[in-house]
A and B are shown apart, each in its own frame.
Chain A
Amino acid sequence: MHLTTLILSSSLILVIAILIYPLLTTLNPNPQDQKWAITHVKTSVKAAFLMSLLPLMIFLDQGTETIITNWHWMNTTPFDINISFKFDHYSIIFTPIALYVTWSILEFASWYMHSDPLMNRFFKYLLLFLVAMILLVSANNMFQLFIGWEGVGIMSFLLIGWWYGRADANTAALQAVLYNRVGDIGLIMAMAWLAMNLNSWEIQQIFFLSKNFDMTLPLIGLILAATGKSAQFGLHPWLPSAMEGPTPVSALLHSSTMVVAGIFLLIRLHPLMENNNIALTTCLCLGALTTLFTAACALTQNDIKKIVAFSTSSQLGLMMVTIGLNQPQLAFLHICTHAFFKAMLFLCSGSIIHSLNDEQDIRKMGGLQNLMPMTSTCLTIGSLALTGTPFLAGFFSKDAIIEALNTSHLNAWALILTLIATSFTAVYSFRVVYFVTMGTPRFLPLSPINENNPSVINPIKRLAWGSIIAGLIITSNFLPSKTPIMSMPLTLKLAALLVTIIGLLTALELTTMTNKQFKITPTIPLHHFSNMLGYFPAIIHRLTPKLNLSLGQSIATQLIDQTWFEATGPKGVSSLQVKMAKTVSDAQQGMIKTYLTIFLLTTTIAILLTMI
């Protein structure tokens, strides 16, 4: 076999094997030692990362992609299911990035969770999640993708509810599972349609056979699946609630890897969507609505993790917009760059939270620039990358997306919403940086602030390097399959930068008003709208269950008990009979002997009459 393909295939399979090995050691009935999490899990992820650089280099050099079909798993007569891995440029580039981010997060988690007695189990759950995610991105058929999809959903549930003694955490985990389930309906519908009409779940066959079919129905199913998993508007409340989990969980699942699974599904199956205008328009408008709504909600939140969660949701909306623009590669680029700076923002938040003795409210932080210089610097770098500061990581993807949006002949409404959301990004990012790092401290004096432990600082530094140079590296090595439009008016070219600067200036202006109060009781309906998340959870989480439960109660009481049982059923029959019996028995006076004697006399007379 040719050397290139041999190295490529073996190293990719080895990556997955390296990740599975620590999970197999947990099947041992003897308990692991204290350091198992660090010696086994973190080392295996680091080794898997270094191993996955090999296929990445081969791909960058020669452009080899591979499909590895291992095992014929099951079949019905016309339908086969195999275990098959597809390592095209999406998964070859995503896998090292995911492993790099996970390595940093695991090192951070060994500091963050070190006082937790069940730390080994925590690391095992994170590793299981990672394996499911790698399965998802490397899947070549819908069945394997579904296995990965469900796997990440279940691990998300277990990890969000990690501190299960807290009722809010349990509610948030349940919310995540329920909203994901609604999305799964769409995925299963798409899979069923594909199995019935195209008779295959292999991605290559689907691409080839779908040219003759009207693919609107499965595409709507896939968009619903992405709405559920990637928290688009309508199925979005679970993502801010998922911040109940520990910070490493938020960093890994709900910023870099799991929530992009929905977008990744749409990117993978993008050739089905290229010519279907209904699907593209749905993606565009849904993404634009999501990005603006969640950015607006992020403006007035006070919990630092919730602000970062809403910013994740806003960037996911932006990725959805990009898919609606028929630019899957730009969406993938944004996934990759976003992973770095978002994970870093979460790690910085985690470091700040632990240092201030579990304080998460930004109104009670401040002045950390001098007390935690490394963390606050990296927070600033991450925020700058998020807003799209030129030549940091976020710039290459975000600016390219907005340029593509500006020069397309599509929906102007979506364009305006996206630009407003971009300016909001600058506003809330600056708000975080202002409240956390600037000004005078507003926290308690005896806070255990320290950055001494290398397990905290090294991951944050690594991700900071990633946030700075990843955009440049990926764009210079990526051949775009669609030619970007290079010539446009100057205003359009600078549009993203201009709206960001406008947002930043507005935010700077607003900071001068933070210590002035103009009215004693201000009427601030817009603030309330934003702070209560648009009243969406308040309405949906209470109204729909209440309507369903009252419908159930009225069916059980009024329809079944009162109508079927009493009025028309057994009791109704008996009450009718009693009425008739009472009416008839009015005529009978109880003189039985007289009645019977008359009866005998009548019979005798009748017989005698016939004999005569």
Chain B
Amino acid sequence: MTPVHFSFSSAFILGLMGLTFHRTHLLSALLCLEGMMLSLFIALALWTLQFEMTGFSAAPMLLLAFSACEASAGLALLVATARTHGTDRLQNLNLLQC
């Protein structure tokens, strides 16, 4: 595989592993999510350049717009968690489990 291909794929997989293995803060999961989105953005932009499909140029922008929405939804959930549980630390989320 080409180096560029390898770089954004590994960025994606590393971001995914960061999302799943985050230890203390919920915020770090959201940051890794952003990183995944960024790598997908680069992938789409390179797709357009590689295959020279000018009609596909709008796709990265679309992805960016929707990732912004999703990021704001994630932040809203963060704020809601912080309001109900006090912090965003993951230990607090199942503290009252019986």
Contacts and interface: CB of A to CB of B under 8 A. Distances in A.
A597 B94 contact: no
Interface of B: 16-17, 19-23, 26, 29, 90, 93-94, 97
A592 B81 CA distance: 13
Complex A-B, nearest 9 residue pairs according to Cβ-Cβ distance, in ascending order: A590-B94, A596-B20, A600-B20, A590-B93, A597-B20, A591-B94, A592-B90, A589-B97, A599-B20
Contacts of B29: 596
Interface residues of A, number: 10
Contact of A593 (B16, B17, B90, B97): B90
Contacts of A599: 20
A597 B16 CA distance: 10
Interface in A557-612: 589-593, 596-597, 599-600, 603
Contacts of A590: 93-94, 97
Contacts of B94: 589-591
User: Chain B binding site: helix, strand, loop or mixed by DSSP?
Assistant: helix
B75 to A, nearest CB: 16
Given A592-B90, A593-B23, A600 B97 contact: no
Contacts of B23: 593
A86 to B, nearest CB: 78
Interface of A: 589-593, 596-597, 599-600, 603
B44 to A, nearest CB: 20
Nearest to B94: A590
A591 B93 CA distance: 7
Contacts of B20: 596-597, 599-600
A599 B17 CA distance: 10
A600 B29 CA distance: 13
Contacts of A589: 94, 97
A600 B93 contact: no
A209 to B, nearest CB: 71
Given A589-B94, A592-B26, A596-B22, 14 more contacts: A589-B97, A590-B94, A592-B90, A596-B19, A596-B20, A596-B21, A596-B29, A597-B20, A597-B21, A599-B20, A600-B16, A600-B20, A600-B21, A603-B16
Given A589-B97, A593-B22, A593-B23, A600 B17 contact: yes
Interface core residue of B19, B29, B94, B97 (most chain A CB under 10 Å):
B94
Interface core residue of B20, B26, B97 (most chain A CB under 10 Å):
B20
B13 to A, nearest CB: 9
B7 to A, nearest CB: 19
Contacts of B19: 596
Nearest to B17: A600
A592 B19 CA distance: 11
Nearest to A607: B13
Contacts of B90: 592-593
Contacts of A597: 20-21
B39 to A, nearest CB: 16
Contacts of B16: 600, 603
B40 to A, nearest CB: 15
A552 to B, nearest CB: 42
Contacts of A603: 16
A599 to B, nearest CB: 6
Contacts of B21: 593, 596-597, 600
26 contacts: A589-B94, A589-B97, A590-B93, A590-B94, A590-B97, A591-B94, A592-B26, A592-B90, A592-B93, A593-B21, A593-B22, A593-B23, A593-B90, A596-B19, A596-B20, A596-B21, A596-B22, A596-B29, A597-B20, A597-B21, A599-B20, A600-B16, A600-B17, A600-B20, A600-B21, A603-B16
Contacts of A592: 26, 90, 93
